[in-house]
Amino acid sequence: MKSTAPNHIAIVMDGNGRWATRRFLPRVAGHKSGVDSLRRCVRACVVRGVAVLTVFAFSSENWNRPKDEVSGLMELLVRALSREVPQLVADGVRLHFLGERGALSGAVRAGLERAEAATAANTSLILNVCFNYGGRWDIVQAANALAERGEAINEQSLGAAMQLGQVPEPDLIIRTGGEQRISNFLLWQAAYSELYFCDTLWPEFDEKALDTAIAEYGQRERRFGKTSDQLRAPATSQQAA
């Protein structure tokens, strides 16, 4: 299936736990398999010319999970970072972490910083990993940053102070795993994103599933509050309308 890829895709990578439970495996095995799925998805996005991929890896609410699952996720992140960075560099992927770093351990923080520094010069794809991220937290931290600097709070300044302030808003937000909710992901930036939900569990989300989502996105009409007629009208008559 071929269609023009969105410039910025965001994904709620959900369903790792259920994938593992169905196989009588511990939930952390699902998260491990989820890393493989992310690697495949990043490659696919590079090939398809996607400029920005933003993924939800750990929410501010995920701290409420059992302790062993949380520590398993932290260890997995540190190990994945040291293993994956050389290939990310080879593929031209620039890593960037979004979220509150203060609550992370020194080892995790150091891992994030090392990976960001090692990939800083890459230009093929920006990979934003939301880790200890919450959309509400993002809005509050942006407002606080502006207040501290004594700057006016308006839509433009607040948007620019958010964690994704330097990239265009997501065109397409995909959620795997069957749930149809945002779960405190990009609350501000999702204002006009196209939403796509699928039942596929994240470890099973492959290139074909990505292409199906992109093809569906290609069928959507993004009106941004206008009418269909306005979108079809040539620029001159649009001005008159």
The stretch near ligand IPE (CB under 6 A) out of 105-113, 147-155, 159-167, 173-181 is 173-181
β-bridge pairing 125-133 and 52-59: parallel
Within 106-145, the residues that bind ligand IPE by CB under 6 A are none
**Six-digit token string for 13:** 């990578």
Beta strands in 99-151 (DSSP E): 125-133
Catalytic residue status for 206: no
Catalytic residue selected from 7, 62, 122, 184: 62
Expressed in angstroms, the distance from the first to the final Cα of the chain is: 37
Contact 134, 184 (CB under 8 A): yes
Contact 139, 115 (CB under 8 A): no
- Please identify, using beta-carbon distances, which residue of 12 and 108 lies nearer to ligand IPE: 12
Residue with tokens 């964690």: 163
| Rounded Cα gap, residues 143 and 62, in angstroms | 24
* Binding of Mg ion by 14 (CB under 5 A): yes
Catalytic residue status for 122: no
Q: Which helix (H) or strand (E) holds 58?
A: strand 52-59
* Binding of ligand IPE by 187 (CB under 6 A): no
* Binding of ligand IPE by 16 (CB under 6 A): yes
Residue 183 interaction partner, one of Mg ion, ligand IPE, none, beta carbon < 5-8 Å per kind: ligand IPE
Residue 57 interaction partner, one of Mg ion, ligand IPE, none, beta carbon < 5-8 Å per kind: ligand IPE
Catalytic residues, which ones?
Answer: 14, 62
Q: Which residues of this chain interact with ligand IPE, rule CB under 6 A?
A: 12-18, 56-59, 62, 73, 177, 179, 181, 183
Q: Which residues of this chain interact with Mg ion, rule CB under 5 A?
A: 14
